[in-house]
């Protein structure tokens, strides 16, 4: 969470609060060692259940998610989360567009945009060093898996924060 909030602080955005229910949902997902996004409806139902709320669709589409796999098992979760920040290098603040998408990490800018969404207020992350289902195949049978859930989620149709913040962080210009 410190990496997230360090970036948000440098841009002038409100800091995120840790949410144990979001973290429990993210941890339950990484424990499966299955590198893929959860379904947004599944995230919403899980969050409502953990909050002991009656699910009536109120949370549907509101819980965002970042997933990341790293073949460098010595890096641990901290280097992994810093990769969310590095994804911002491919985002152009002025045009609100991903300037350098890569085929190896589609949606790479999305990792960053979730981080800096000015409407997001809560975060919970899970981490596991996996030994099965490696997305890297036999070249890296052990891998790190990080999943963060965010409430509310980033909407890719809107600028994540006011344009006047663009000059706050030189690497985002």
Distance in angstroms (rounded) separating the CA atoms of residues 111 and 68 = 9
Q: Are 35 and 69 in contact (CB under 8 A)?
A: yes
Count, in order, helices (H) and strands (E) of the chain: 5, 6
Q: What is the mean pLDDT of the chain?
A: 77
- Residue 3 and residue 85: Cα distance in Å, rounded? 8
Pairing of strands 97-98, 91-92: antiparallel
Share of the chain above pLDDT 90, in %: 26
How far is residue 136's CA from residue 38's CA, in Å, rounded to a whole number?
A: 20
* Residues facing residue 151 across a β-bridge: 122
Residue 65's DSSP bridge partners are 149
Residue 93 has pLDDT above 50, yes or no: yes
β 91-92/143-151 pair status: unpaired
CA 156 – CA 112 distance, rounded (Å) = 11
CA dihedral over 41, 91, 123, 71, signed as positive or negative: positive
Residues 108-149 pLDDT 10s: 677 777 888 888 889 999 999 999 999 999 999 999 998 999
pLDDT in tens, 95-104: 777 776 554 4
Per the model's pLDDT, the better-predicted residue between 22 and 3 turns out to be 22
142, two tokens: 């052990």
Give the length of the chain. Answer: 173
Kindly state the average pLDDT of the residues 27-50: 83
Rg of the chain over CA atoms, in angstroms?
Answer: 16
């Amino acid at each position: 969470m410190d990496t997230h909030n360090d970036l948000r602080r440098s841009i002038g955005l409100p800091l995120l609060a840790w949410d144990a229910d979001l973290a429990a949902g993210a941890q339950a997902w990484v424990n499966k060692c299955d590198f893929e996004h959860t379904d947004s409806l599944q995230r919403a139902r899980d969050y409502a259940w953990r909050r002991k709320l009656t699910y009536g669709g109120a949370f549907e589409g509101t819980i965002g998610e970042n997933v990341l796999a790293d073949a460098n098992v010595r890096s641990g979760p901290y280097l992994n989360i810093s990769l969310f920040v590095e994804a911002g290098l491919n985002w152009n603040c002025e045009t609100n567009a991903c300037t350098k998408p890569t085929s190896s990490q589609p949606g790479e800018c999305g990792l960053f945009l979730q981080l800096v969404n000015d409407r997001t207020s809560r975060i919970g992350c899970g981490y596991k060093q996996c030994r099965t289902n490696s997305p890297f195949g036999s070249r890296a049978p052990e891998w790190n898996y990080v999943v963060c859930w965010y409430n509310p989620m980033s909407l890719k149709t809107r600028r994540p924060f006011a344009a006047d913040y663009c000059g706050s962080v030189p690497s985002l210009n």
